[in-house]
Every structure is written in structure tokens, then in C-alpha cells.
Amino acid sequence: MARKNLGDVDIQPSSQPCELRLVLLGKTGVGKSASGNTILGRDEFKSTLSFRSITKQSKKGTAVVDGKTITVVDTPGFFDTELSEEEVKTEILQCMVLSSPGPHVFVVVIPVRRFTQEERDAVRKVQELLTDSAPEYALILFTHKDQLENKMKIEDFIAENEHLIELVRKCGNRYHSFNNKNTEDHQQVTELLTKIENMVALNGGQYYTNELYQKVEEEIQQAQEEIIMEEDKQVQKEQEDINKEEESLQQSMKAIMEQEERYTSHGGQKSGPEWKKLQSLKENSEKEMKELAEKKKDSNKKTEDEKNKAREKAEKSSSCLKKILNLVVAVPTGLLLGAMVGLATAVKLAASMIKVPGSIIGAAGLGSTPVLIAGGVAAATAATLGGVIGAAAGVSAALEADGPMEAAKTTVSDILEIARNKIKEVENMASQQSI
């Protein structure tokens, strides 16, 4: 069965999603956490004016904003974080867990300030990540627009830099700006959400997903089911207790009604003390029945709440995250981040990049013969290309393997198969050039 590329997007039809999931992306110190707080209308994420990363772990916050449930996932600066590679890998997957089954929008956060080489590098990295279908789910959020000088408009700021022009164009000219100092200005949040909803409508109401997101969602649902099964024992006991209480009250009410009938059939007066006692018992039973009905209603609602709580526990479960990490243990961080935002497998990329064949071994990714990339725009060695191909095969194998050992075996097999195909491809190209 042919595998799907990591960039393949499955359509999830929904005209009006009941929840909007936003993932904030950007380098450290650009205002991701502050913007997340502005959107949610509360201090959900720790934020400070610093170029050091305050957000060390991906975190999720949810609130009802303008009548719609909004979930925001704040992320560390994946591009320049002080975390180790393994920690970054963990946080990439944690971000995916928190935004699963997939975000409706990747919000790329860029500050309004002097555009240094560091800023240009960050924009370039974002552009490299937003490939395939991901730009259709991306929006640029410019922060600190209060720092614009001389009544400058955000459009003027964009126009000053070709890198920003290209990034905005790539994201379908979708952008917004925040005055992070004026957090009381809710209109800027309303306008942002309107732009996002318009984008979602253009995408057919669907959220972004790919093979990796689908695998993450499968693991979450499995963990959720295990938690529900464990806690369901208590819920079942509560339901059984309610049913027993209901049966007991029904029997009591039936007995009272029978006493009433006997009393009146023997000529008893409806104003006598015995009658009043029966009426008091009847009123108490009716009251208890009403209370039990409310208790039953609350129990049913509690079952739904428990399901939602089980989902939250599954998302925070270290065992669930560990299981997902085991699947991609051998995958380089850069490729994993690309997989999250839709970077197609490097196998597909490599096939389109080779323009001038070297030796058969080199072009197969098994040697060091130079090859030209993207028509001569950049150069790399075939050994590097081989590494990229191997990493891509590692991602794909990890998604289908039961664990890291099986993934490693599958990766080796896949690389050999790719190498054979590349050898055939280069042989054909070489024979055509010799004609």
C-alpha cells in the first residue's frame, strides 16, 4: 500500500467549527505569549519583555471569545530555543498533542521593530516550513504595532522589506496587527478572529491535518479510552445507586397511592389526621422524585464532562507522549518540525531537486559527488542528500512501526529501496545526456 506524504492534507468537512484551534509560531521574544493572553482575554501564558525564552513548554489555553470556543497553543521559540534537541523534539510533539486533531490556523508572530539579519533568518525559516498546503492555514500576526513611528501603517512596514512581502504573499495576504500595550482593545481580537473565520470558510471549514497529526490523534484517543474505562467503574456505580434509589421511591409512591385508595374506599375523611399524614408522605416522595430526576440529569452531564476531562488527562499523559516520542525517536528535529506544518517527505523533495547527475553512487545518496540543487540556486553533496532521504524515510517508517526498533529496520529497508530507484533514475538521465 502506497504511503501518503507527510504534507498530504485530509479534508475534514465542517461548515462552522464549534471550536477554533490556533497555534502560535515564532522566535523567542516576539510576543507569542502576550498575544495569546490578549486573544483569550486573561493571563493564561507567562509573558515578559525579554529576548530569553520564558515559554519552555508548549501550553494550551481555552476560553469563550465572542461566543466561540477559542483554543490557543503557545509554543517555545523552536528556531532559537535554549532547549536541547531532544527537548525541542518533545515540545514539537507536545504542540501537536495540544492542537490535535489539527489547528485551524498557524499564527506566525512577527514583531514590529528594526528588521535585523536575525529577523530575516527567522522569516526565512518560517517560509521554509510553510510548504505544500500549510500556507492555506497560516496568518501573519504583527505584534507591538504601537512602535510604528510617524503614524506609519502596518502596510508600510511590510512594504519596506521584500522578505515580509514574500511571506505575507505566501500566506494568502492574510495578516493582522496587535497593539500589545492596549490589551483592553477587544476590537483587535474580534477583527483577528473574523479574519481567521473567513480563512477557515475558504478552507471549507476544515482544520489542518496530515499523517503525523492523525497518528498523534489516534494515540490520544486510545489513551482517552483507557482513562474512561478506568474511571467508568465509579460512574457505573453512581448510575446503579441512582437506579436503586429511583426504584425504591417508585415503590414508596405506589404504597402511598394504595393506602390512599384503601382510606377513601372505607369512607375515610380527606380532612382527617391520617389523610393529612398520607398527603405529607406523598408530597415528600414527589419532592424526592424531582430531586432524583435532577441528580440523574447531572449524572448524565457528568458522564460527558468525564469524557472531556479524560481527553485533557490523555493530552497531559506522560505515557501517551512517550509512546508518540518512541515512534519518531530517530527523526531529526528539523524534519519533525517540518512534518508538523506540512513539509512533504524529503524523498519527494530530493527527486525534484536533482538537476545535474553526478556518479550513479553519488546521486543515489551514497557518496560525496556534488549535485546541483533547485536548478543551481544552492549546492550540496550527495551525501547530504542521502541524509535527507534517510531522515524522510525515518519519519514515514516511524509512523507505521510499532516501536523504535521496528522503525529503524523499516527505515534501512526504505533507504535501500529509494537508493535503487535513484540509481535507475540517474542511469536514465545519464543515458539521455550521452545521446
In a domain, 333, yes or no: no
Shared domain check, 112 and 129: yes
Shared domain check, 182 and 221: no
- What integer is the mean pLDDT of 310-335? 73
The residues, ordered by sequence, that sit 6+ positions from 238 with a Cβ below 8 Å of its Cβ are 299, 302
In a domain, 3, yes or no: no
Q: Identify the pLDDT of residue 276.
A: 79
- Which of residues 105 and 269 earns the better pLDDT score? 105
The residues, ordered by sequence, that sit 6+ positions from 399 with a Cβ below 8 Å of its Cβ are 211, 212, 215, 327, 328
CA distances to 85, 96, 172 from 13, in Å: 36, 20, 21
Work out the pLDDT band at 104, boundaries 50, 70, 90.
very high
Domain boundary among 155, 182, 212: 212
Q: What percent of the chain has pLDDT over 90?
A: 21
pLDDT tens digits along 112-148: 987 777 777 777 777 776 666 778 899 999 999 988 8
- What integer is the mean pLDDT of 327-349? 55
Domain boundary among 212, 227, 244: 212
Q: Identify the pLDDT of residue 242.
A: 83
In a domain, 6, yes or no: no
**Structural domains in the chain (count):** 3
In a domain, 339, yes or no: no
Work out the pLDDT band at 308, boundaries 50, 70, 90.
confident
Shared domain check, 223 and 203: no
Note the pTM of the prediction, 2 decimals. 0.64
Q: Identify the pLDDT of residue 432.
A: 67
Shared domain check, 122 and 39: yes
Shared domain check, 375 and 395: yes
For the cut 70, the answer to whether the pLDDT of residue 176 exceeds it is: yes
Work out the pLDDT band at 103, boundaries 50, 70, 90.
very high
In a domain, 279, yes or no: yes
Burial class (CB in 10 A: 0-12, 13-18, 19+), 131: middle
Q: Identify the pLDDT of residue 275.
A: 77
pLDDT tens digits along 24-60: 988 888 899 999 999 999 998 987 655 555 557 889 9
CA distance 277 to 363: 97
In a domain, 48, yes or no: yes
Q: Which of 70, 97, 36 is nearest to 196 (CA)?
A: 70
Shared domain check, 94 and 51: yes
CA distance 416 to 308: 45
- Which of residues 372 and 137 earns the better pLDDT score? 137
Domain extent at residue 241: 214-316
pLDDT tens digits along 83-94: 677 777 788 888
In a domain, 326, yes or no: no
Q: Identify the pLDDT of residue 156.
A: 92
- What integer is the mean pLDDT of 377-383? 35
Domain boundary among 212, 247, 264: 212
Shared domain check, 227 and 162: no
Shared domain check, 311 and 356: no
Shared domain check, 219 and 206: no
